[in-house]
């Protein structure tokens, strides 16, 4: 499926509206979404995570919440798995030494 520029503009508008709605409803930087993503190879896990990260980034802009390297973390149980997508190990994410 090809995505055109009008599709991207539409998605940006939807993200802005969702972000504005979240701000109006009192969402703050203390609210968290923690998800466990699993599935077979080719199920779209990586694509879904990239969309979620982009949504969080756009929401942060609308909500005037600072975005940093620690705003959205990709974690995996092993270092090899984490390095496959520039993530960190689960233990490091939990600040366990």
Does 38 fall in a domain? no
Does 66 fall in a domain? yes
Residue 62 is classified by DSSP as H
Domain that holds residue 65: 44-97
Q: What is the pLDDT at residue 1?
A: 47
- pLDDT tens for 33-79 read 677 778 888 888 878 878 888 888 887 787 777 888 777 788 888 88
CB atoms closer than 10 angstroms to residue 84: 12
> Does residue 27 register a pLDDT over 80?
no
Does 56 fall in a domain? yes
């Amino acid at each position: 499926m090809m995505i055109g520029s009008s599709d991207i503009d539409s998605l940006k508008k939807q993200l802005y509206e969702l972000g504005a709605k979240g701000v109006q409803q009192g969402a703050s930087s203390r609210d968290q979404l923690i998800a466990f993503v699993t599935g077979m190879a080719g199920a779209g896990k990586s694509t879904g995570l990239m969309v979620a990260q982009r949504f969080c980034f756009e929401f942060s802009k609308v909500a005037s919440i600072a975005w940093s390297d620690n705003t959205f973390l990709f974690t995996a149980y092993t270092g090899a798995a984490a390095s496959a997508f520039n993530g960190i190990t689960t233990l490091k994410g939990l600040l366990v030494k």
